[in-house]
Structure 1
Amino acid sequence: MAFLTGRQHMGVAAVIMAVSIFLSRFMGLIRDKVISFYYGASIESDIYFASFVIPDFLNYLLAGGYFSITLIPLLAEYFNNSEEDGWKFLSSVLFWVCIVITAGTCVAWVGAPYLAKIAAPGFDAPSIARLTYFLRIILPAQIFFLLGSCFSGVLYMRKQFVVPALVPLVYNASIIIGGLFMIDYGMEGFCWGVLFGAATGSFMLPYLAVRNGGFQWHFTLRHPGLKKFVLLALPLMIGQSVVVLDEQFVRIFGSLTGDGAVSLLNYSRRIMLVPVGVVAQAAGVASYPFLAALVAKGDTEAFNTTLSRALRNTMLFIVPLSFWMISAAEPTLRLIFQQGSFGVEQTLGATPLLQIMLASVAFWGVQQMIGRAFYAHKDTITPAVVGTVISLIAIPVYWYLGKTIGVMGVAMAGTMSVVLYTLALSAVWKRRFGGDAFKGVVRMFLLSAVLCVPAMVASVYVVQQIPLLLDGRPLTGAFVSLAVSGTLFCVLYMCTSMLLAPKAIEPIVTFVRKRILRRA
C-alpha cells in the first residue's frame, strides 16, 4: 500500500501519468477493437457511442472533469491550515456533490426518451428506443465519477499519482469484460461495464486510498470553502469548452450524416487522442500541482519558466508524433480495427477522418497547458468564457460542414474549433500575463514541423509500397508498415535535427541518454 500512497516528484509524476494514459488509451483501443470486430461501423455501435452524449454532458455541466483542478488549490489551503478543517471542507463538498449529481441523474433518467432524441437527432424510432435503454444504464455512473473525482483531488493535492493513474485502467478493463461477458446481448454488456467500472475504478479505488491516508468524515453542510469551490467551479459548469464538447458535437452531428458515421468518427478520434493523452495531458496533469504551488508563492518568473519549458517540450515530442501518425493513418486503422465486421471500406472511410483530426494534435497540447495555467491562478472564468464563445461559433460550423461535406465535414469542424479555441485562449493569456510563457514555443512548433518533412515523405513512401509487397496479408502488411515507417521516421527526424538544429532536440537526447544509462 505504501507504493500506492507514496508521493512523487514532478518528473516521476509525469512518467506515471504518461504510462497510465498510454495504457488507458491502449485499453480504449482494445475496447473499440472488440466493438468494431463484432459490430463494425453499424447502427448498434452508433447507438452505444451516442449513449454517452447526455451522461457526459451532465458530467461537464457539473464540472466533473475539472473537480480535481478546482479542488486542489482549496484542499491545499485548508489542509495547510488544519488537517481537521481540510477534512471538514472535503466532507461538505462530498455531501453537496452527492445531492446535486443524484438529483440530476434521476431527472435525466426519467427524461431519457426525450434526451435520446437530442443526443442523436438522425436516429429512427427503434434506434431511439434502444438508445434510451442504454442511457438509463450509463447515467448512474456519473454519481461515482464525480464523487471519485473529489477523492482523486485529495490524492493529487498530496502528489500521490499512482492510484489516480490506475483509475482509467480499471474502468476500461471493466467495460471490455462486461462487453465480452454479454456479447450475445449486443452493446448492452459494454453499458453495464461502464457502470461497474465507474463504481469500482473511478470511486472505490481513490476512496480506499484516501481512507488509508486518514480520511475523516464530518457531517458538515456548511463550510467557508464551499462558497469558494462553487465560485471556482461555476464558470466551468456554465461555460463549456470545445475540447470537452467536441466529442459530443461529433456524435450529435455525425448521426445526421448516415449509419456508421458516429462509429467511424469515434474510432478515429480515439486514435487521435493517444498522442494528446500520452504527451500533452500527462504533462499538464503532472505540472499542474507545481504550477499552482508557484502561483501560491508568487514566483512569477519561475512559473513562466516552468510553463514555457513544458510547452516547448510538448511541441518537441507531439509534433513529430502527429506527423508520423498522419502518414501512417491507414495502416494504423487497418491493424487495430480491420477484422470481423470492420472491413476495408470502413478502414478507407476512417483514414481521412483520422488524418484531419491529427492536424489539431499540437493545438490540443497547447490548450492542455494554458488551460491549467489559468486554473493555477484560480481563474476558471476566462477559459469558460472563451470556451463558450468558441462553442457557440462551432455549432453552425459543425452543422454546415456536416450537411455539405458529410462525415468528413464533421471531422474538419472539430479540428477547426480546437485550433480556434487554442489561439483565442493563448491570445487572452498573452494579453493578461505577457508573452514570457510562450518564449520559443512557436519557434519550436515551426522548427519541429520543418524537420519532420523529410521523415514524413519517406514514411508516406514506405506506407504506400509495403502493401504491394505483402498483397493478401493486410494485417501483416499494416504491422510491417508501421514498424518500418516508424523506425525510418525516427531515424531521419533525429538525423535531420542533429544536422540542422542540434540544440532544439537536446531534451530528447538527454531523455534517451538517461534511460540508457539507467539500464546500463
Structure 2
Amino acid sequence: MSAEKPDSEQPVGPKQGSLLRSSGLVGVMTMLSRVLGLARDIVIANFFGAGAGADAFFVAFKIPNFMRRLFAEGAFSQAFVPVLSEYRTTVTPAETRVLINSVAGTLGLVLVLITVVAVAAAPLLTAVFAPGFLDDDIKFGLTADMLRITFPYLFLISMTAFAGAILNSYGNFAVPAFTPVLLNLSLIGSVYFLTPYLDLPVMALAWGVMIAGFAQLFFQLPFLAKLGLLPKPKVNRQHEGVRRILKLMTPALFGVSVSQVNLLLDTILASFLVTGSVSWLYYSDRLSELPLGVFGIAIATVILPSLSRKHASANTGEFSATLDWAVRAVLLIGIPAALALMVLAVPLISTLFQHGALADEDVLMSAQSLRAYAVGLLFFMLIKVLATGYFSRQDTKTPVKVGVVAMVANMVLNLMLVVPLAHAGLALATSLSAALNAGLLWNGLRRQGIYSAQPGWWRFAGQLVGASVMMVALLLWLNPADEYWLSADVWKKIFWMALLCFGGGAVYFVSLFASGVRIRQFRMRD
C-alpha cells in the first residue's frame, strides 16, 4: 500500500532520453527473456516432444495467453497509456493517482469475474478453442484440467501489465521488459522439480504458469511503490478516465490483437490435423516471435508514450518523424531476420529443440511452418509500430476496421491453404493477412497526413536490399544439407549455428556500414 502524497508533491517524473537507447534497453531485456523462452521450449521439447500432452498444454496455455494480449499488452495498454500520459500533463498528481486506483479496481473486478467463469467452463472453452480434441477423450480431458490451473494467469499477468504500463509511462522500461524472464524460469523449474511428484508429469507445466503469474506481479510492485504510485484498487466505472479507457478498449480489444486472433484460428484448425500439428505451429511461432518481441514490440513500447506526448502537444512534425524512425528501425532488423528464418529453418529447429523426444519428422514439419511465419515477420513487426501511431492519438476505430478486413482474409486463406499445405498453410495464411493488415494501416496513416516519409528513403531501401542479398548468399553457401542437421551431434550443431549466425550478422552489418549507414542516423531524442 502506498501513502498518499500532498497534491503539490509530484511523483517521480519520466526519464527523458534517446529512443534508440530506450529501445535498445527494452530489446536487451526482451532478448534475455526470449533466450530463456527458447531454453524453456527446449526443455519442454526434450521432456514432452510433440505428443498429446504437449498439444494439451499449448492449447491450455494459449487460451489465457491470448486473452492476456487482449486485456493486457494489447487493448488495455494501448488505451491506458495515452490517457495516463494526458492526465500526467493536464491534472494534479493526486488526480492521476485517483485514475490509477480506479483503473486497478475496475480492471481487477472484470478479470476476477472472467477468471471464475472460465475456470468453471473449462471443458466448454476447450471445445470452442480446440474442437478437434473432442474425438480424443484423454487429450480433451487433460486440456480442460490444465486450463483450470492456467486460466488464473490471465488475472495475474493482466495486473502485471497494468503495473508495467505505469512504469513505462514514467520512463522505467527495463523492469516490465525483464518481468517475462520469471515466466520462463518458473516453467523450467517446474519441469525439473515438480514432474517427479505428479502422476501426470506434464501437469507441472500448468502449475508453472500459475506460479509465474504471482512472481511477475509481486516483482513489479516495489518499483511502483518507489514512484509513489502503488495502486489502492477502487471500483469506479463512472470515473471520467476509466470511462474513456473502456471506450477506447472496446474496439482495441480486436484491433490491436488481430495477429493473435489469427494465430488462435490456426490452433483451432490445427486441432483437426494429425497429432503434433499444434506443437509444430507452437515451436515455429516461438522462433518467429523472437525478433518480433526483441525489436518490434520493444520499439512500439518505447514510442507509445513519446507519440502520446507529442500528439497531446500538437507537435505533428515530431510525431511523424518519430513514426518514420520506428518504421526504419523495424525494417533494419525485420528484413534480415525474416530472410534468416527462411534459410535456416531446419538448422534452428534442430539445434534448439531436437535433443530428446522431438523426432526428425517434427523438425521438418516445424521448419515448414517456420518458413511460412517468416514470410509475415516483417509485417507483424510493422503492425506493432503502425498501430501505435493510431492508439497514441486515441484512435482505436481505424485499426478495428483494418483488423476486420485482415481477419476475414485470414479465414478465407486458412480454408484455401490448409488442405494443400496442412499446418504450414495455416501459418502462411496468417502471414499473408498480416501483410494486408500492415499495408492498410500504413496507407491510412499516410492518407490522413499523420505520417509522411522523411528524406532518404530510396537510398536506405537500396542499402537494406544490398546488405540482405550479401547475407543470404553467405548463409546459402555455408549452410549444410538438412540431413546433416538431423544426424549431427549437439556440439557440431551449435558450432555451425553460431558460425552461420555470427557470419550472417557480420556480413549484413558490414555491408550496411560500407554502403554508408551509421548508428548516428538512428539517434532520436524522446
Instruction: Please report the TM-score for the alignment, with normalisation by the length of structure 2.
Output: 0.89
Distance verdict in 2 for CA 1:393–1:446, change over 3 Å: farther
CA distance in 2 between partners of 1:224 and 1:209 (Å): 27
In structure 2, the partner of 1:214 is: 228
CA distance in 2 between partners of 1:466 and 1:109 (Å): 44
1:13 partnered with 2:22: yes
Q: Deviations over 1:115-149 (max 9, x none)?
A: 11111121122211111101100111111122222
CA distance in 2 between partners of 1:151 and 1:170 (Å): 16
2:220 maps to a residue whose letter is P
1:138 partnered with 2:147: no
SS of the residue aligned with 1:379? Answer: coil
1:205 maps to a residue whose letter is F
1:164 partnered with 2:180: no
1:397 partnered with 2:408: no
Gaps of 5+ in 1: 512-520
Between 161-170 and 444-453, the greater mean CA deviation after superposition = 444-453
Decide whether the 8 Å contact of 2:15 with 2:172 is kept in 1. yes
1:364-443 alignment to 2 at 5 Å?
A: 364-433=380-449, 436-437=452-453
Percentage of identical aligned residues: 24
Offset at residue 358 of structure 1 (A): 1.3
Q: Deviations over 1:47-96 (max 9, x none)?
A: 11111343234435546533233212222233341111111111111111
Decide whether the 8 Å contact of 1:312 with 1:440 is kept in 2. no
1:38 maps to a residue whose letter is F
SS of the residue aligned with 2:21? Answer: helix
CA distance in 2 between partners of 1:139 and 1:5 (Å): 35
CA distance in 2 between partners of 1:420 and 1:413 (Å): 11
SS of the residue aligned with 1:217? Answer: coil
CA distance in 2 between partners of 1:480 and 1:320 (Å): 21
CA distance in 1 between partners of 2:435 and 2:400 (Å): 16
CA distance in 2 between partners of 1:66 and 1:275 (Å): 22
1:87 partnered with 2:97: yes
Gaps of 5+ in 2: 1-11
Q: Deviations over 1:451-509 (max 9, x none)?
A: 322331221121126976x995332332232222233323443454455xx23x22389
Between 288-297 and 48-57, the greater mean CA deviation after superposition = 48-57
Distance verdict in 2 for CA 1:117–1:25, change over 3 Å: same
1:188-267 alignment to 2 at 5 Å?
A: 188-201=203-216, 203-215=217-229, 217=232, 219=234, 221=236, 222-239=238-255, 241-267=257-283
CA distance in 1 between partners of 2:397 and 2:81 (Å): 17
1:164 maps to a residue whose letter is P
SS of the residue aligned with 1:339? Answer: coil
1:449 partnered with 2:461: no
Decide whether the 8 Å contact of 2:61 with 2:206 is kept in 1. no
Decide whether the 8 Å contact of 1:294 with 1:303 is kept in 2. yes
1:311-350 alignment to 2 at 5 Å?
A: 311-350=327-366
CA distance in 2 between partners of 1:251 and 1:356 (Å): 15
1:23 partnered with 2:32: yes
Offset at residue 105 of structure 1 (A): 1.3
Decide whether the 8 Å contact of 1:332 with 1:478 is kept in 2. no
Instruction: Please report the TM-score for the alignment, with normalisation by the length of structure 1.
Output: 0.90
1:302 partnered with 2:318: yes
In structure 1, the partner of 2:502 is: 487
Offset at residue 430 of structure 1 (A): 1.5
1:101 maps to a residue whose letter is L
Offset at residue 338 of structure 1 (A): 0.7
Decide whether the 8 Å contact of 1:295 with 1:376 is kept in 2. yes
Between 139-148 and 76-85, the greater mean CA deviation after superposition = 76-85
Distance verdict in 2 for CA 1:132–1:441, change over 3 Å: farther
1:97 maps to a residue whose letter is L
CA distance in 1 between partners of 2:451 and 2:522 (Å): 27
1:104 maps to a residue whose letter is I
2:57 maps to a residue whose letter is Y
In structure 1, the partner of 2:285 is: 269
Decide whether the 8 Å contact of 2:82 with 2:393 is kept in 1. no
CA distance in 1 between partners of 2:247 and 2:122 (Å): 30
Q: Deviations over 1:238-274 (max 9, x none)?
A: 5464322233122212112210011011001101111
Distance verdict in 2 for CA 1:218–1:405, change over 3 Å: closer
Q: Cα RMSD over matched residues?
A: 2.6
In structure 2, the partner of 1:100 is: 110
1:33 partnered with 2:48: no
Between 50-59 and 141-150, the greater mean CA deviation after superposition = 50-59
Decide whether the 8 Å contact of 2:72 with 2:161 is kept in 1. no
* Of 71, 77, 80, the match for 1:68: 77
1:401 maps to a residue whose letter is L
SS of the residue aligned with 1:361? Answer: helix
Decide whether the 8 Å contact of 1:316 with 1:445 is kept in 2. no
CA distance in 2 between partners of 1:490 and 1:143 (Å): 40
Distance verdict in 2 for CA 1:293–1:437, change over 3 Å: farther
SS of the residue aligned with 1:52? Answer: helix
Distance verdict in 2 for CA 1:57–1:406, change over 3 Å: same
CA distance in 2 between partners of 1:63 and 1:27 (Å): 22
Aligned pairs, how many? Answer: 503
In structure 2, the partner of 1:122 is: 132
In structure 1, the partner of 2:490 is: 475
CA distance in 1 between partners of 2:21 and 2:513 (Å): 27
1:158 maps to a residue whose letter is Y
Decide whether the 8 Å contact of 2:74 with 2:257 is kept in 1. no
Between 343-352 and 87-96, the greater mean CA deviation after superposition = 343-352
Q: Larger % of helix: which?
A: 1
Decide whether the 8 Å contact of 1:241 with 1:388 is kept in 2. no
